[in-house]
A and B are shown apart, each in its own frame.
Chain A
């Protein structure tokens, strides 16, 4: 299994541009999520999905859109990039809660908005 994969690994955008960060998992996990990692702030949840066709907002959803058309894929769209969205983005997946709750993380996408 490849686990959780993310593309691209690095991206530079200009303010106002849009782009999609890709995330895929091959573990048949129902739950997927997007986090951003900023220095001194840990990881913060952007959006999450408990299954195909179901998404919801996390702690910091503004400026981002998601959709979940398949179990495997969970892309994150930046609608109009801003310098405040400069961050490292991680996608994660897990089985639906059964008492363990651990998540599997992708390698991350480092995004710089100038």
Chain B
């Protein structure tokens, strides 16, 4: 079945550091890929998405590129801020019409000033 594997956390960085959170997936066909973010005490929000190979999703300084050849969708940001502290989830969407999301386990990110 479909699955998503994310880099283990927690991750702690200093402000202005470069961030990479790794995500790889296993899926049949060509799923859509997503990064969701969960701020403390809140529900999940879509951060960015990519719907086909070589697409780059971007939002709020974060980027991720859909790499079919390596089945990866790594999240990157060039200079993180304290406000980026959150839990980040990589996910893929089942394309069989029901849009079932399959999530990775989540990576907790803490940014220190």
Residues of A within 8 A of B (CB): 4, 31, 33, 35, 40-45, 48, 50, 56, 58, 90, 92, 94, 96-97, 99-108
Once the chains are docked, how many angstroms separate the CA of A97 from the CA of B12?
Answer: 36
B99 within 8 A of A: yes
Q: Most B CB atoms within 10 A — which of A33, A92, A102?
A: A102
Residues in B with CB closer than 8 Å to A106 are 43
- The answer to whether A40 and B105 touch across the interface, beta carbons within 8 angstroms, is yes
Cross-chain contact of A50 among B34, B49, B97, B102 (Cβ < 8 A):
B97
- The answer to whether A42 and B103 touch across the interface, beta carbons within 8 angstroms, is yes
Contact A33 to B100, CB < 8 A, known contacts A101-B49, A102-B46, A105-B43: yes
- The answer to whether B51 and A45 touch across the interface, beta carbons within 8 angstroms, is no
Once the chains are docked, how many angstroms separate the CA of A102 from the CA of B37?
Answer: 13
B25 within 8 A of A: no
Residues in A with CB closer than 8 Å to B6 are 42
Residues in B with CB closer than 8 Å to A105 are 36, 43-45
- The answer to whether B95 and A97 touch across the interface, beta carbons within 8 angstroms, is yes
Closest to A90 in B: B43
- The answer to whether A107 and B105 touch across the interface, beta carbons within 8 angstroms, is no
- The answer to whether A103 and B43 touch across the interface, beta carbons within 8 angstroms, is no
Closest 5 CB pairs of A and B: A42-B103, A101-B93, A105-B43, A105-B44, A101-B32
